[in-house]
Amino acid sequence: MASHIVGYPRMGPKRELKFALESFWDGKSSAEDLKKVAADLRSSIWKQMADAGTKYIPSNTFSYYDQVLDTTAMLGAVPPRYGWNGGEIGFDTYFSMARGNASVPAMEMTKWFDTNYHFIVPELGPEVKFAYSYHKAVNEYKEAKALGVDTVPVLVGPVSYLLLSKPAKGVEKSFSLLSLLGKILPIYKEVVCELKAAGASWIQFDEPTLVKDLDAHQLQAFTQAYSELESSLSGLNVIIETYFADVPAEAFETLTALKGVTGFGFDLVRGTKTLDLIRGGFPSGKYLFAGLVDGRNIWANDLDASLITLHALEGVVGKDKLVVSTSCSLLHTAVDLVNETKLDNELKSWLAFAAQKVVEVNALAKALAGHKDEAFFSTNAAAQASRKSSPRVTNEAVQKAAAALKGSDHRRATNVSARLDAQQKKLNLPILPTTTIGSFPQTIELRRVRREYKAKKISEGDYVKAIKEEINKVVKLQEELDIDVLVHGEPERNDMVEYFGEQLSGFAFTVNGWVQSYGSRCVKPPIIYGDVSRPKPMTVFWSTMAQSMTARPMKGMLTGPVTILNWSFVRNDQPRLPWPLRTKLRILKKLASMLFQIDEAALREGLPLRKSEEAFYLDWAVHSFRITNCGVEDTTQIHTHMCYSNFNDIIHSIIDMDADVITIENSRSDEKLLSVFREGVKYGAGIGPGVYDIHSPRIPSTEEIADRINKMLAVLETNILWVNPDCGLKTRKYAEVNPALKNMVAAAKLLRTQL
Ligand code: GLN
Ligand code: ZN
């Protein structure tokens, strides 16, 4: 019986790693304290997987920040600006690359494929001197071994590593990153040698880029890399793991022909065509790691259905070569259902988090080996049946309303230039208007108030009073800073998706269902289990209150439907793109003076991994967004905000969203957005490319911001440019936000006098 887990969440069931990291960063605990928490987490994870009967248990899937950054450290590819002088990379250099330090900003981060996990993008060029400088993979292998667990060390594969990198500053854009293969492989060989010496008998290379559209040259790099590694790998069993989609036919051919490889891992949940490929020709004698248990969602596996698939696969690859696995690393799902105290039993019976998925994988493997746990399977079958027939899942009114949507529900009647004129008459904003993206720092005190209200420890009256005070403070602060378009600061919101989900029906919430987003940052995606409806208004109360506190224009904050879906655990009993929350933005008379920002932070990240599927997704996303606001008056200005985006390839869809003002995260990827700006000029809408990075504690100077705005003005017309930070300020401290915003406003004012 053979079971395998691709990777496991690092944060711990109660985010132990997050708290240990943040306390270390704040100087409140020592490096030793942090290492101790990390080691305890690793050992409990290994033990748990071993106890469940897992045969192939991963190691080195733990990380203090990110597995791609770990690989950069392993290769010694530290950008020179961090002043590292060789030797084993320690926390100082490692966390400086991840988070920046007082004098140097962080490395860029970007989304890991179509997940909400972010990795630190390697910066490479011909000058980089690679050297084995971070022995984590070997150390973790030995650590597990000392605990009596023989693990499969996992490395980011060399080709995916290079394909996920970018040319360093000053390196020609046309520089072929793959040309560095010959330079990084010797380090991989060293690592492999050490692992062998330490006693490893298996190794896993994650090569998820194989699921993307790769050209012949890129595919050739895989052949080259693994041929070159072949002799070092001899004596080791090698798994090449792919995930997040099926592997295109040509890539499948390249992959399965790789030398020195023992087995291949495939995502059989999202890889809808992989089964056909495997049936069409799987190399004889090789292992198939069949990823049937979904690593990206929280639903219990349909074990009977999986078993049917597994039996079919047995017929293709042979009984002794079939290994039951997860579709991808469990990093992208919640940690342990055991800690969910607030979900009802029925709903809970429909779910499986990482810890439960490990058990499912092993239950399937045991069943395949002829030791089916009948009780476990029949409980699972009963839960599957109850979910299919539950009245909590289907809401007829919602389905009718969706069917009744008309063409005119999809587009505003007037074009954007005419709307902007009408809005400017009302708003009378200066050129280079300043604003922020919505949230203000969430202080410990504020979090406490929300927590106590939720736990019914303080009355509604006290809660409203406290939040009102907070809004008032934020409004006054913005007035003092002389910001033009104000926000209420979102103090009532724990999270931009959860807050809305809590007010909608068809959503469920976990207490500890955290998933790592980047570094110590985690998100707690709501679970959408049924047809979604909105029983009562969601933001009107706080918005009206905020507007009443100031004569300046107030921007109401809403999270858009695409983002809500992309940042939730969605249903797997209907297509992956259900028609989203159909509720339209209704602007009440008392809110008529306001502007609205509908955040579509996650629009880009939902983009399918294959070009052939993009058009369908984008069309769906654009229409979903437009339906929310097409009914508002011309004079109501609709902003949208998007995060971390490389927009070049989807600019037409962004324009098609038809928002009046688009604010985008830009500060870490300036040049990439130039073409977007140009398109923006043609389109006529306002554009606010973030003028400073809020993800770093660094405070930008007025000159630096002015310089950045000037660069934008070289491309953009003055009258469409907005000045704003690149995202919400929720995770920053007031000590950082106050001076940063002060400098931002000063920069805008300075430039106004020069234009
Ligand atoms: N309005 C949200 C905030 O400021 C936007 C956050 C985001 O785009 N991630 O927090
Ligand atoms: Zn953002």
- Neighbouring-strand partners of residue 663: 641, 688
Residue 533 main-chain phi, psi, to 5 deg: -140, 165
Residues 153 and 60: their CA atoms lie apart, in Å, by 6
Ligand 1 test: best mutation among 564, 695, 727, most atoms within 8 Å of CB? 727
* pLDDT at residue 537 in the model: 86
Q: In 3D, which of 437, 459, 381 has the Cα closest to residue 725?
A: 437
**Ligand 1 close to Cβ of residue 555 (< 6 A):** no
**Is residue 720 within 8 Å of residue 680, measured between CB atoms?**
yes
**Is residue 486 within 8 Å of residue 476, measured between CB atoms?**
no
* Collapsed DSSP state (helix, strand, coil) of residue 611: helix
Give residue 499 CA to ligand 1 midpoint distance, Å: 12
Q: Within 13 Å and on the Cβ side, how many CA atoms surround 295?
A: 26
Ligand 1 atom index nearest CA of 439 = 4
**Ligand 1 close to Cβ of residue 438 (< 6 A):** yes
- ipTM given for this complex: 0.98
Neighbour count for residue 563 (Cβ, 10 Å): 29
Give residue 440 CA to ligand 1 midpoint distance, Å: 10
The model's pTM is 0.89
* pLDDT at residue 574 in the model: 84
Catalytic residues: 695
* pLDDT at residue 641 in the model: 95
Q: Which ligand is located closest to the Cα atom of residue 488?
A: 1
Ligand 1 atom index nearest CA of 642 = 8
Ligand 1 atom index nearest CA of 438 = 4
Give residue 726 CA to ligand 1 midpoint distance, Å: 9
pLDDT along the chain (755 residues), means of 10: 95 98 98 98 98 98 98 98 96 97 92 93 97 98 98 98 96 95 98 98 98 97 98 97 96 95 97 90 96 98 98 95 98 97 96 98 97 98 96 87 81 93 96 98 96 96 98 98 98 92 93 96 93 87 94 95 92 77 60 88 89 92 90 93 78 91 74 62 83 91 95 86 95 97 98 93
* Collapsed DSSP state (helix, strand, coil) of residue 299: strand
Neighbour count for residue 504 (Cβ, 10 Å): 17
* pLDDT at residue 676 in the model: 65
Neighbour count for residue 2 (Cβ, 10 Å): 21
- Going along 304-463, which residue ranges are E strands? 322-326
